[in-house]
Amino acid sequence: MTLRSVAGIRDPVHGYVKVTEVERSIIDTPFVQRLRRVHQLAGSYLVYPGAVHTRFEHVIGAMHVAGQIATSLSATSELGEDCVQELRLAALLHDVGHGPFSHMFEEVLALKSKETHEDMSLRIVRETVIRDIIGEHGFSASKISSLSVGRLEKGPRFLNEVIAGGLSADIMDYLLRDSYFTGVEYGKVDIQRVIDSMQVGDSHLVIDEAALPAFEALLLGRYEMFKAVYFHKTVRAAELMLVRSMQLADSTLGLTELSNLDRYLNLTDEVVLHSLTSLRPATAELREARQLALDFRERKLVKCVFERLMQRRARGVRGLFTDDTIRGRLRRRLAKEAGMNTGSIFIDVPTTPSIPYSSSKEVLKSVGLVRWEGGRRVIVTMPIGQLPLVGSIEGFMDVLRVYTETRFRGQLEGAARDVFGDVAQTQTPETPPRR
């Protein structure tokens, strides 16, 4: 199925990406253009110099992949041209609500509000000129906004899965794109094999059983990219510093004041970093915020003195030590043991499910496979744990790290080994998840 294109964009990952009239109009809005000034991988460029790509390129790529998925599905299901266009628009808009430095800003936002970048995406699509453009072309802004964050309630469930989940256009684009720009090979997976095998079964996305190795490679590639790039210890050092800087300066700069969408439009990486480095050091908190931002800009990063990677089999738990109160207690204990100030100690506990979340925000537990038995199409459900290689990484990937400034490195190393030698082993997987 082919939509009428009116323009094209040359993309380094997918080649020539065709754009329809409604897509071009939305791409030209300030809210989508703003994504040119929000890095896809926040502070990763301080470790991988090529990682300067932005959310703008990603949403263009996700739109293209969503269109490929929709075209593949239309061969075996009743998927009209309007539905294909809706899926492409939803993918184009799925990240429009991201704040400065992407997921780093969300860590700051979590302390002040229950809103996420997905909530901001809903608001931007429904309350700005984007709503009018969508309506003028005969589509529903309410439907497309819900679909863009995988929350469409009315309609086939597989539509949400195209946008969010283990087989989503989002994952397929960011793995290829992040791999390309960082120079890390793990994300170079054969997404076309997975896309071409996609069908709809029992209202869910399923794949031909013959494409199972390609799907497994996609999951393994994501896992390795988290270890090599997203959770890289130096990448996280930079991000920890900037997150704390934004937290300390929030009341002065009003970063998490989200009521005015026009003001939100101005929150980009460069603007926020400039605001942080230009703070007037009227208080100790603002002095610290300014210095952290200056050190981030000049790549004077805190150093990792303790690290432990833990692969948990527990399901449904976000991670160890994710509660702010627990982290605060641990920082105070470390400070006491090392004889130093808590402000110079950073505890990092990034955690993610080794297998992606489904569109319903639950860990993906199975994949639907198409088999042909006696000339008859049969849909079978295979638990993720039964995949030969992926089963070995099923669960949660936790990273526990302690950082400090170079001058305190020696005195904190021993304290961290003493404290976390006990705590990390006695902490149970049943720790209540934060959120």
For residues 57 and 143, state if they share a domain. yes
Domain end, chosen from 233, 259, 287, is at: 233
- DSSP secondary structure letter of residue 53: -
For residues 316 and 219, state if they share a domain. no
Q: Residue 350's pLDDT is what?
A: 75
Which stretches within 233-283 are classed as H helix? 233-253, 261-264, 269-277
Range 228-248 average pLDDT: 94
- Is residue 282, in this structure, part of any structural domain at all? no
- Is residue 389, in this structure, part of any structural domain at all? no
- Is residue 372, in this structure, part of any structural domain at all? no
Q: Which of 96-110, 288-302, 356-370, 406-420 is modeled with the greatest confidence?
A: 288-302
Range 29-42 average pLDDT: 96
Range from 191-195, 211-215, 383-387 carrying the lowest mean pLDDT: 383-387
For residues 321 and 218, state if they share a domain. no
Q: Residue 327's pLDDT is what?
A: 75
Q: Residue 422's pLDDT is what?
A: 55
Residues 6+ apart with CB under 8 A from 78: none
First vs last Cα of the chain: how many Å apart?
A: 42
Q: Which residues pair with 74 in a beta bridge?
A: none
* Domain total in the chain: 2
Q: Residue 358's pLDDT is what?
A: 66
Q: Return the CATH number at 339.
A: 3.30.70
Model confidence band, residue 360 (pLDDT cutoffs 50, 70, 90) = low
Confidence check: pLDDT of 84 > 80: yes
Contact 303, 237 (CB under 8 A): yes
Q: Residue 95's pLDDT is what?
A: 95
Closest CA to 56 of 85, 25, 30: 30
Q: Residue 198's pLDDT is what?
A: 95
- Is residue 198, in this structure, part of any structural domain at all? yes
Q: Residue 435's pLDDT is what?
A: 31
For residues 202 and 307, state if they share a domain. no
Domain end, chosen from 209, 233, 257, is at: 233
Dmax (CA) for the chain in angstroms is 77
Confidence check: pLDDT of 425 > 50: no
Is the dihedral angle over the CA atoms 204, 222, 184, 237 positive or is it negative? positive
Confidence check: pLDDT of 156 > 70: yes
Q: Residue 313's pLDDT is what?
A: 55
Distance between CA atoms of 345 and 341, rounded to whole angstroms? 7
Distance between CA atoms of 183 and 177, rounded to whole angstroms? 10
CA distances for 350 relative to 76, 330, 353, angstroms? 40, 16, 11
- Is residue 92, in this structure, part of any structural domain at all? yes
Instruction: Tell me if residue 147 falls in helix, strand or coil.
Output: helix
Model confidence band, residue 359 (pLDDT cutoffs 50, 70, 90) = low
For residues 312 and 203, state if they share a domain. no
- Is residue 317, in this structure, part of any structural domain at all? yes
Is the dihedral angle over the CA atoms 192, 165, 105, 95 positive or is it negative? positive
Range from 25-34, 138-147, 398-407 carrying the lowest mean pLDDT: 398-407
Residue type, 365: K
Contact 311, 393 (CB under 8 A): yes
Range from 39-48, 290-299, 425-434 carrying the lowest mean pLDDT: 425-434
Distance between CA atoms of 358 and 167, rounded to whole angstroms? 9
> For tokens 């990792």, what's the residue?
304
pTM of the model: 0.90
For residues 213 and 348, state if they share a domain. no
Confidence check: pLDDT of 321 > 70: no
Domain end, chosen from 193, 214, 233, is at: 233
Confidence check: pLDDT of 429 > 70: no
For residues 223 and 310, state if they share a domain. no
Quick one: tokens of 347? 């505890």
Q: Return the CATH number at 60.
A: 1.10.3210.10
Q: Residue 325's pLDDT is what?
A: 65
Residues 6+ apart with CB under 8 A from 5: 18, 19, 20
For residues 198 and 335, state if they share a domain. no
Q: What is the overall mean pLDDT for the chain? A: 88
Element (DSSP H or E) covering residue 371:
strand 366-373
Confidence check: pLDDT of 51 > 50: yes
For residues 311 and 198, state if they share a domain. no
Model confidence band, residue 372 (pLDDT cutoffs 50, 70, 90) = confident
Q: Residue 324's pLDDT is what?
A: 63
Confidence check: pLDDT of 322 > 50: yes
- DSSP secondary structure letter of residue 357: B
Show the domain range for 186: 5-233
- Is residue 312, in this structure, part of any structural domain at all? yes
- Is residue 364, in this structure, part of any structural domain at all? no
Range 170-185 average pLDDT: 96
Residue type, 302: V
Distance between CA atoms of 10 and 17, rounded to whole angstroms? 6
For residues 207 and 87, state if they share a domain. yes
pLDDT 10s digits, 260-270: 898 888 999 99
Residue type, 272: V
CA distances for 128 relative to 6, 73, 122, angstroms? 24, 32, 10
Residue type, 380: V
